[in-house]
């Protein structure tokens, strides 16, 4: 399936590349007309941008699904992020920016270690923000990657609006292959909606201001419903014949542990001291949760009860692996020496 998709995408990509510049294409002209009609952009200025823009083959290659999407490993994924170098860098980041992290936690209710963990996973605390020209990357995906073209056309629209608001050239932004920007890797839509000037210098700078990145990550999570002083997830052991049905319900919290027990799924919470306690205790029995399975081939599956805050982290990156890694890196930032 992946090979077929790759061949189709590359065939379309090659055909479009032979057809000339983006400005000559009917689908791009439809987008230009939309921007002119909807947002009063100058058509000739936009066409000038598209005439200067070439498709990026590396972007298409990077966004393609994995060769074997069925083989996903939680332990391998976790090991990429919860490892000594990133933990050390994260602890240094938290020490260096302790005041801003504390202010963000007080204002938004998001723990400092969660904010730091997200920035650490996204860009290794600014070491790897991406070097793709954002306009070219989004244009490539918007018009030469059919599976997600609609999403990336919206983000291209958001980038143009962002550039106009900031009085910058759309060609001046750089970031990931998917158009994510700055230390926290915000897509242009999130940049416009959630990024804030947290260091009060009169401008938002997610590339060079850790304070702005810290405040913006906290604002993003709060804007998606982060619950102050509430749990994120707990590791559980499970038995019963209704496990798969609960997993299939997805990562949005729907059932309290007490309700899961009624559905013939028994849960035991695994504590930090490796003892098992009743997961349907008063602390969690009536709090809505989702049953999350973290699968590693040829190893036992790890299960967690994901509460509202776990789901909120998946709004940043819609992956239960990602949310669990953020949670574990945050814990490591507080406990490692």
pLDDT digits (tens, 9 = 90+) for 24-54: 999 999 999 999 999 999 999 999 999 999 9
Q: Which long-range contacts (CB under 8 A, 24 or more apart) does 33-37 make?
A: 34/157, 35/157, 35/160
Which pLDDT does position 10 carry in this prediction?
54
pLDDT: which is higher, 274 or 232: 232
Residue 123 is encoded by which pair of tokens?
Answer: 């860009």
DSSP state of 180: -
> Which domains can be identified in the chain, with CATH numbers?
2-65+130-180 (1.10.8.350), 233-306 (no CATH)
pLDDT per position as a tens digit, 272-316:
444 444 544 566 778 999 999 999 999 999 999 999 999 999 999
pLDDT in tens, 183-208: 999 999 999 999 999 999 999 999 99
CA distance 305 to 251: 10
Q: What is the pTM of this model?
A: 0.90
DSSP structure class, residue 168: -
The four Cα atoms 298, 269, 337, 213 give a dihedral, to 10 degrees, of 90
pLDDT at 180 exceeding the cut of 70: yes
Residue 158, pLDDT > 60, answer yes
Q: Which has the higher per-residue pLDDT, 20 or 80?
A: 80
Strand segments (E) across the chain: 132-133, 174-175, 233-239, 266-270, 276-278, 290-294, 302-306
Q: Give the pLDDT score at 21.
A: 83
Neighbours of 275 (CB within 10 A): 9
């Amino acid at each position: 399936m992946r090979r077929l998709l790759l061949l189709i995408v590359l065939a379309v990509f090659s055909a479009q590349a032979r057809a000339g510049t983006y400005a000559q294409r009917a689908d791009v002209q439809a987008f230009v007309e939309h921007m002119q009609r909807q947002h009063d952009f100058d058509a000739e200025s936009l066409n000038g941008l598209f005439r200067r823009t070439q498709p990026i083959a590396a972007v298409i290659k990077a966004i393609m699904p994995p060769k074997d999407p069925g083989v996903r490993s939680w332990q391998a994924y976790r090991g990429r992020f919860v490892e000594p170098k990133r933990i050390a860098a994260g602890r240094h980041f938290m020490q260096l920016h302790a005041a801003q992290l504390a202010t963000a936690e007080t204002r938004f209710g998001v723990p400092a270690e969660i904010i730091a963990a997200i920035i650490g996973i996204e860009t290794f605390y600014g070491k790897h923000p991406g070097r793709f020209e954002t306009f070219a990357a989004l244009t490539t995906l918007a018009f030469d990657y059919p599976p997600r073209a609609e999403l990336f056309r919206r983000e291209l629209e958001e980038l143009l609006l962002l550039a106009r608001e900031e009085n910058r050239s759309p060609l001046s932004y750089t970031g990931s292959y998917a158009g994510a920007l700055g230390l926290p890797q915000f897509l242009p839509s999130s940049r416009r909606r959630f990024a804030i000037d947290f260091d009060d210098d009169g401008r938002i700078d997610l590339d060079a201001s850790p304070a702005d990145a810290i405040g913006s990550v906290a604002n993003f999570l709060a804007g998606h419903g982060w619950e102050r002083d509430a749990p994120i997830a707990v590791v559980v052991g499970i038995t019963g014949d209704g496990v798969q049905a609960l997993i299939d319900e997805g990562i949005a919290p729907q059932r309290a542990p007490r309700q899961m027990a009624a559905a013939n799924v028994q849960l035991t919470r695994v504590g930090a001291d490796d003892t098992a306690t009743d997961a349907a205790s008063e602390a969690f029995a009536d709090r809505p949760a989702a049953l999350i399975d973290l699968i590693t081939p040829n190893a036992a599956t790890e299960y967690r009860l994901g509460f509202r805050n776990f789901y909120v982290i998946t709004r940043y990156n819609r992956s239960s692996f990602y949310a669990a890694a953020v949670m574990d890196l945050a814990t490591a930032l507080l406990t490692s020496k």
